[in-house]
Structure 1
């Protein structure tokens, strides 16, 4: 029987199975695309040859040719950079091997090998971008599912691949193996892909720029060889870059290369994550971005993992919060966050964090291994899913009058597990002036317990133990009425302050019917924040009292102690490679005449990470320097008329006009609230 060479090749492919190649070729893969440029990658296998990329328009006219060499110096990977193209145009391409005898087609040449340049106009687009992290051979079914979603860009969010080595040969083999997965290769010939790294493709678990310093040169070299982008960090350092696709710009951040290598550009007493050069690039790029939607992507998550590892942005909270404050202060619209790493998919909403709600998506794992223990409490968590083979698709639609961003959590079967649609208007800061600026919670108690800040019903109060609200008897209308003997109090179920907020102000009126008795150990709490664990997940703090205002007896029979506590983060020094710890600070005492509380008394507390200040009836009564400076620790909801456990040490009497700001009010603003008797008198537009 005569054996045909083509038939033999087919038989070999079948015998080798879908995970292996009959040759050692890679690609072709499309990388960074711009309006008039394209970057492509191809390796013919372990041979040094000249390769020619030819690009045709849809009418078959040749528009460009680029030659490149697959040299051993770069593991036989050839890169092609095509210029002079037309924006928003689809092109076909092919790659030939150039030898003395002529040209031999090695890839492309058919309709499924194509790319489309970025349109010149950001409006009128429907752009589909996929995000994934944590992949291995068990991700094959996900690549296959992605092919059903008309993708315009694929973003690899780290642990792609699991290298876990600094050996250059091993690194190259693992990168090559990933790009040889047949179902990923099908995507790569027409869907551009870009990526960043996380700890495992940076060399080892929990890797940072300090503990993996000896591996960095090789891990970066292999990464650069097997990605085809227009930027890889700055010079020979880092791998950060951005992909501007018109309707959306994706900022692929490098949270590994510079981490722990020196002081932070925003806090010289803490370690950096991004490093000085990347920090400058990121701020300048965000400020100049014209894309309606902007995605900040890196491998690690933006919160605390709550395990023994330190590769999360909670460890670098100074830079994280400085970045988010920059977005807020510069009024940059359309920003969302994406992270990976933890083998759990999660969705968080940080209320009004950047002048609008900040949506935070964690997409992991793309493979089949999950880590349930990392699905932990966070004050802003809205949804989570501990399942394998997950990926995310964002669709930016700028063809509508008000552009929208639709986000879908999907799995290998195409099941839509969570779908969120956010309008551009919802990702745009609205003007806030005067006393309304950064007002996060406001309960007037005029006949109900509704929150009257822009955070709305999320913060509506819940009466406990038979507590009531009147339509009269308050400072300017109704009031919350509480009986200590009946253990009455009010709870607010969700957070109102930023995660690890560096500032806050809390204000309210109180009219006690009872004060702690002189000589007793009695305490009566006006309010205290707490961790509600609304999501009923592990590793929630049992304290959370960043806000704590209460009354207790003191040594003077004529006075009462208006006492404050707070709970803050304790920053770690440069190079420590540790996460911040927490510290309870207080009690801070202020002795006031008992007679002061015979009627309505206005109490305000401000916090600025360095001190607590207490104002009584509009005037500064006491300044309490904090022994350790730091933003607040983990918190959640609020108890009004009780301490964080609710029952016990309850307030007796009436409380009215409670308000919380995510900023420090000025002395004149506090005095104005006192003189007007109510916050609402000073508000406009609420």
Structure 2
């Protein structure tokens, strides 16, 4: 084998090794009804109580769900993480949600929860008041065993805000990051991955033993990915909602075309609007995971038209295609 081909093979092995795994959109609730998007693997929502109305006008995108702050009222998604639940997000995941209060909390104990674990608070995000200033609400991440982080975030009733949480496990330690309106706030929480387990996640209220903390206002566009998304993805998710665009469902691979290959090449390592410009896995960034998605699922005729031999591409063709999609045509071994 020539030195140049050996170098290219080594480079390809490195790129595959360091490229991120695909982040799949598992569940997306637009609250037109209680159903998950049809093409996704996650469950539909379970409804408890009557203090909410689905399909209410005035969502950040389309309609929303309106909560009245009623006790015992909650929507539940049976998505578990850390080994809990029948539908697994795993130890690495992201949750994204839009919320809009009708009123602000009037006391530290009068908390409004956007979401919390159904049986614990290994995941939790709520709003409360630690200030005497009228109309001032604080947002809080609280995680069982790890403590809480309080953000002095003035929220105006009737105004939409966005929150995203990422849970990333490395070497048995989970890092939890909180983003409000597209920006990471404060320092992350860190703790043992094995201590973070949830069987399901409540939306619009706290855990099942504390359902007196119902949200008072609208929630919309809540979504879950089975990976800890990078900051660029969170910005993309936030901007997508601000633009009044729904989170798109992933495309059927049978619709993949050669242009997708070029889009991935042109936008590699770029943040984009969800599901556009080569973002096949709908995580808001174009990277090697999108190339894998295209390469492993595109129709044979499309792969052949893009220069990939089918069904078993030769080393030279595969390397040429990969290097082209990565924009590395000018790499030289020294």
Normalised by the length of structure 2, the TM-score is: 0.59
| Alpha-carbon separation, structure 1, partners of 2:195 and 2:91 | 6
Which has the higher relative contact order, 1 or 2, with Cα contacts under 8 A spaced 6 or more apart?
2
Q: Which residue of 2 aligns with 1:477?
A: 62
Counterpart among 110, 118, 122 of residue 522 in structure 1: 110
Counterpart among 651, 658, 678 of residue 222 in structure 2: 658
| Alpha-carbon separation, structure 1, partners of 2:132 and 2:178 | 20
Q: After superposition, what is the alpha-carbon deviation per residue over 1:389-424, rounded to whole angstroms, capped at 9, x for unaligned?
A: xxxxxxxxxxxxxxxxxxxxxxxxxxxxxxxxxxxx
Counterpart among 69, 91, 105 of residue 502 in structure 1: 91
Show structure 2 runs of 5+ residues with no match: 1-15, 85-89, 253-334
Counterpart among 200, 207, 221 of residue 637 in structure 1: 200
SS of equivalent residue, structure 2 residue 235: helix
8 A contact 1:510–1:602 mirrored in 2:
yes
8 A contact 1:503–1:631 mirrored in 2:
no
Higher percent of residues as helix? 2
| Alpha-carbon separation, structure 1, partners of 2:225 and 2:97 | 12
SS of equivalent residue, structure 2 residue 193: coil
SS of equivalent residue, structure 1 residue 459: coil
Larger radius of gyration: 1
The offset of 1:610, in angstroms, is 4.0
8 A contact 2:161–2:181 mirrored in 1:
yes
RMSD: 2.7
8 A contact 2:114–2:203 mirrored in 1:
yes
| Alpha-carbon separation, structure 1, partners of 2:122 and 2:245 | 22
The offset of 1:604, in angstroms, is 0.9
Q: After superposition, what is the alpha-carbon deviation per residue over 1:407-461, rounded to whole angstroms, capped at 9, x for unaligned?
A: xxxxxxxxxxxxxxxxxxxxxxxxx96xxx322221111x2111127554x6111
Q: Which residue of 1 aligns with 2:26?
A: 440
The offset of 1:632, in angstroms, is 5.0
Q: After superposition, what is the alpha-carbon deviation per residue over 1:467-489, rounded to whole angstroms, capped at 9, x for unaligned?
A: 21116321111211111146432
8 A contact 1:440–1:455 mirrored in 2:
yes
The offset of 1:618, in angstroms, is 1.3
Q: Which residue of 1 aligns with 2:143?
A: 566
Counterpart among 235, 240, 246 of residue 671 in structure 1: 235
SS of equivalent residue, structure 1 residue 588: strand
| Alpha-carbon separation, structure 2, partners of 1:565 and 1:603 | 14
| Alpha-carbon separation, structure 2, partners of 1:453 and 1:498 | 25
Show structure 1 runs of 5+ residues with no match: 1-328, 331-431, 532-542, 568-583
Q: Which residue of 1 aligns with 2:148?
A: 587
Q: Which residue of 2 aligns with 1:607?
A: 167
Q: Which residue of 1 aligns with 2:212?
A: 648
8 A contact 1:673–1:682 mirrored in 2:
no
- Give the aligned length: 220
1:176-187 to 2 correspondences below 5 Å: none
Normalised by the length of structure 1, the TM-score is: 0.30
8 A contact 1:612–1:623 mirrored in 2:
no
Pick closer, same or farther for the CA change 1:443–1:516 going to 2, 3 Å: same
Indicate whether 1:549 and 2:112 are aligned: no
8 A contact 2:82–2:193 mirrored in 1:
no
| Alpha-carbon separation, structure 1, partners of 2:224 and 2:195 | 14
